[in-house]
Amino acid sequence: MYRKELKVLDCTIRDGGLMNKWQFSKEFVKDVYTACVDAGIDYMEIGYISSEDQFSRDEFGAWKFCSEKDVREIVGENKTNTKISVLADIGRIKYTDIRPKKESVIDMFRVACYEYQIDKAIELAHHVMDKGYEATINLMAVSTVTDRRLDEVLVDVSKSRVKVFYLVDSFGSMYSEDIQHLMKKYQEALPGVTIGFHGHNNLQLAFANTIECIIQGANMLDATLLGMGRGAGNCTTELLVSFLKNPKYKLRPLLWAIEKHVRPLQKQIDWGYFMPYLIAGASNDHPKSALKWMDSDRKEEYVAFYDQMRESRQELE
Amino acid sequence: MYRKELKVLDCTIRDGGLMNKWQFSKEFVKDVYTACVDAGIDYMEIGYISSEDQFSRDEFGAWKFCSEKDVREIVGENKTNTKISVLADIGRIKYTDIRPKKESVIDMFRVACYEYQIDKAIELAHHVMDKGYEATINLMAVSTVTDRRLDEVLVDVSKSRVKVFYLVDSFGSMYSEDIQHLMKKYQEALPGVTIGFHGHNNLQLAFANTIECIIQGANMLDATLLGMGRGAGNCTTELLVSFLKNPKYKLRPLLWAIEKHVRPLQKQIDWGYFMPYLIAGASNDHPKSALKWMDSDRKEEYVAFYDQMRESRQELE
């Protein structure tokens, strides 16, 4: 697939950091940055941007905060073709902490929100755009939003100045028919807006769903090295780059970073295709129960987890 | 997806055995059988059927041979709804070794062949059909067969009495557009013939391609527990059962067998998504170079493998 509008965003540090509280060595982050630059990746998402009074640096690594100083230690003035992105959660960043773009090497803010936060998300996106940044809104957990409510959200977005809006499969529960349905809805409601996709791999469909989104017209694609990300992880950057035919993308630098850093880390941290994540994804559930199970000494007890999840569903009935 | 014609074939022992020379404990095979029966799996492929003078029992486990005695030790008279299947490679089974169906608990022979063996495959399929078995032909490595040659093969199959023909993604190199193209071709050439699909997971697309085949009309679907199979492995049975809406399929018995046997084995044997298999799949190459690399002490050297593969391609030019 070659389409010049297609952009790849590597969020290894940001989404992967959910599995190690962003406790990456400086060399790890620096090498992922170098790999992204050399591989022709369009955006590298280097972490969450959060106010320092919200979280402790004793618990979380630098990439939970993305201070200008820390980011510059990795990217310098970033005289490259790879832009730097950060993710902001609603309510975890103070507007006054955001400096004007001309004082920052960060290029893009992505605003993650649930459907009930869409007004706050648009406000924050407008705020960072007014300060000179690119902005996206990433609507999470859309697999639990009714179509009627989603239509309202899309109307709000269509009235905003936001030019990139993300389809996010937070629970890794979507099949190709879900992708087709939502891509159609997003594009019809948001003409002229670039649609992005961020998938999770609970059903081993993150890459396949990314391809389906490309076919349906999405032009911003999230991925991580070896799929490093919360729970089952994400579409892998190396698969996406192997698939895309734009000659600017190179696989070899990504393999270098995977070999040097990401694969060794994968031997210590269980992200990827594990039965509790499959069970959560197939049930369209938030991964939190599965993450807790995988963090316990019962992580290999798949039947017990299945029974527990089934019981908690029956309690709802 | 609910379609009553859909059949699931679990080939954990057969394809998985390629990774451990079929050296499974009897309890392993027995429990996989029990899980298949309890989960409503339509066929369990218990191994290759090969003549004993072709391979040594010193090197290979029982499921390289599938003697009637060994199969009966697992399934008894098999008074269940799960049929027993075996895979035959051309030239590795003597017709005289195949007993009439009424003396066997085996229900189906699957004949694996390359395109240049199609006449021999049809002959063997007819032979086992005449002895009372169900038969399929599984045309391997079709991603390297030209359309003109493939059309000839399909004409040969269309003139045969074979009623099940498999689309096989041997190299794990197919994208959804390849599936659509080949499914259309197979169905147009073979009206009234059931089309099956057997995928490999080099590009994390085995499950997605299986779904695409279902959408396109395939009704026999191969899968293995945790994807255990050669190299990157296969579509997983647990994902497929989670997707199919037929109430006869149950996930829980599969989780039991995975927890008890397959996951512990996965910690000893490297099947699944590893960079050498991705590199082979993305290049539409036979996995043998990647398998050899993964079996060496250089298995984590991804860049070196990539460079070696690229060099060997350039030598061709």
Residues of B in contact with A251 (CB under 8 A): 279, 282, 306
- pLDDT at residue A316 is higher than 80: no
Q: Do A211 and B238 touch (CB under 8 A)?
A: no
Q: Which of B266, B283, B301 is the last residue of a domain?
A: B266
> What chain B residue is nearest to A235 in terms of C-alpha separation?
B204
**Phi, psi for residue A43 in degrees, rounded to 5:** -135, 140
Instruction: Tokens for B32, please give them.
Output: 């996989």
- Spatial separation of the C-alpha atoms in residues A176 and A155, rounded to whole Å: 24
Res B262: pLDDT: 98
Q: Are B111 and B93 members of one domain?
A: yes
Read off the amino acid at residue B43. Answer: Y
| B1 part of a folded domain | no
- Residue A206 is predicted with a pLDDT of 98
Determine the Cα–Cα distance for residues B262 and B136; give it in Å rounded to an integer: 27
Q: Does A243 touch chain B (CB under 8 A)?
A: yes
CA separation for the pair B48, A56 (Å, rounded) = 58
Our separate counts of H helices and E strands in chain B read 13, 8
% of chain A with per-residue pLDDT over 70: 99
Residue B2 within any structural domain of the chain:
no
Residue A51 placed within a domain: yes
Is B36 in contact with B251 (CB distance < 8 Å)? no
pLDDT of residue A40: 98
Q: Are residues A226 and A108 in the same domain?
A: yes
Task: Say which CATH number the domain at B256 has.
Answer: 3.20.20.70
Average pLDDT over residues B262-286: 96
Among the partner residues B208, B236, B251, nearest to A208 by beta-carbon distance: B208
- Give residue B317's pLDDT: 57
Q: What is the dihedral of CA A144, A145, A148, A154, to 10 degrees?
A: -150
State whether residue B105 sits within 8 Å of chain A by CB: no
Q: Given this model, what pLDDT does residue A146 score? A: 97
Q: Is B302 on the interface with A (CB under 8 A)?
A: yes
Give pLDDT, residue B1: 65
Are residues B204 and A243, on separate chains, in Cβ contact within 8 Å? Answer: no
Please name the member of B208, B251, B302 whose beta carbon is closest to the beta carbon of A306. B251
Cα–Cα distance measured from residue B240 to residue A111, given in angstroms and rounded to the nearest whole number: 35
State whether residue B289 is helix, strand or coil: helix
Q: Are residues A295 and A242 in the same domain?
A: no
Q: What percent of chain B has pLDDT over 70?
A: 99
Residues A181 and A289 occupy one common structural domain: no
Task: Examine residue B156 and state whether it is found in any structural domain, yes or no.
Answer: yes
Are residues B36 and B182 both part of a single domain? Answer: yes
Question: Which residue is it, tokens 């773009």?
Answer: A101
A308 touches chain B (CB under 8 A): no
Asked if the C-beta of A238 comes within 8 angstroms of chain B's C-beta atoms, the answer is: yes
Look up residue A1 and give its DSSP letter.
-
DSSP summary character for residue A186: H
Task: Compute the Cα dihedral for B295, B297, B300, B301 and give only its sign.
Answer: negative
Q: Is residue B88 part of a domain?
A: yes
The C-alpha atoms of residue A17 and residue B160 are separated, in whole angstroms, by: 57
Q: Which pLDDT score is estimated for A278?
A: 97
Q: Are residues B259 and B286 in the same domain?
A: no
Closest residue of A to B283, CA-based? Answer: A242
Find, among B237, B238, B178, the residue nearest to B203 by Cα.
B178
Can you give the pLDDT at residue A2?
79
Closest to A207 (Cβ–Cβ): which among B203, B243, B263?
B203
Give the model's confidence band at A35: pLDDT under 50 very low, under 70 low, under 90 confident, else very high: very high
Closest chain B CA to residue A252? B303
Question: Is B99 part of a structural domain of the chain?
Answer: yes
Rounded Cα distance between B201 and B237, Å, is 13
Tell me how close the Cα of B211 comes to any Cα of chain A, in angstroms: 9
Identify all chain B residues contacting A284, using CB atoms and an 8 Å cutoff: none
Residue A314 has pLDDT above 70, yes or no: yes
User: Same domain for A261 and A298?
Assistant: no
The mean pLDDT value for B76-104 works out to 96
Q: Which of A242, A263, A275 sits opposite B300 (nearest CB)?
A: A263
Best probe of the B interface among A169, A171, A202, A204, by most B CBs < 10 A, is: A204
Question: Is a pLDDT exceeding 90 seen at residue B9?
Answer: yes
Last residue of a domain, one of A231, A247, A266: A266
Region label for B196, one of left (φ > 0), alpha (ψ between -120 and 50) or beta (otherwise): beta
The 8-class DSSP code of residue B137 comes to: E
Asked if B236 and B169 sit in the same domain, the reply is: yes
| Residue B288 clears pLDDT 60, i.e. is over it | yes
Give the residue among B63, B69, B67, B66 at the shortest CA–CA distance from B28: B63
Total domains, chain A = 2
Tally Cβ neighbours within 10 Å of residue A297: 6
Which has the closest alpha carbon to A39: A266, A247, A262?
A247
Tell me the pLDDT tens digit for each residue of A238-284: 999 999 989 999 999 999 999 999 999 999 999 999 999 999 999 99
**Which tokens go with B181?**
């193209």
Q: Is residue A2 part of a domain?
A: no
Do B243 and B180 share a structural domain?
A: yes
Question: Are both B257 and B283 inside the same structural domain?
Answer: no
Residue type at A241?
Answer: V
Is residue B24, in this structure, part of any structural domain at all? yes
Of B154, B203, B196, B195, the residue nearest B177 (C-alpha): B203
B280, exposed or middle or buried, with CB in 10 Å at 0-12, 13-18, 19+? buried
The amino acid at B75? V
CB A154 within 8 A of CB A116: no
Q: Is A245 on the interface with B (CB under 8 A)?
A: no
Report the 10 Å Cβ neighbour count for B142. 23
Write the pLDDT tens digit of every residue in A226-235: 999 999 999 9
On whether both B127 and B209 belong to a single domain, the answer is yes
- pLDDT tens sequence across B211-238: 999 999 999 999 999 999 999 999 999 9
Pair B74, B12 in one domain:
yes
Instruction: Give A 113-172 residues with CB within 8 A of chain B.
Output: none
> A208–B176: do the CB atoms touch at under 8 Å?
yes
> B204, exposed or middle or buried, with CB in 10 Å at 0-12, 13-18, 19+?
buried
The answer to whether the CB atoms of B278 and A239 lie below 8 A apart is yes
Domain that holds residue A217: 7-266
pLDDT in tens, A117-137: 999 999 999 999 999 999 999
Per the DSSP assignment, residues forming a β-bridge with A166 are: A138, A196
Shortest distance between the Cα of B152 and any Cα of chain A, in A, equals 30
Contact A204 B239 (CB under 8 A): yes
- Residues whose CB is less than 8 angstroms from the CB of residue B152 and which lie 6 or more positions away in sequence, other chains included: none
Give the angle subtended at the CA of A125 by the CAs of A124 and A126, to the nearest 5°. 90
**Interchain contact A236–B (C-beta under 8 A):** yes
pLDDT in tens, B163-174: 999 999 999 999
Contacts of A211 in chain B (CB under 8 A): 175-176
Chain A residues near residue B243 by CB distance under 8 angstroms: 175, 203, 282
Mean pLDDT, residues B121-125: 98
The confidence score (pLDDT) of residue B314 equals 76
Indicate whether A317 pLDDT > 60: no
Q: B242–A278: do the CB atoms touch at under 8 Å? A: yes
Taking only the tens place, the pLDDT of each residue in B193-202 is 999 999 999 9
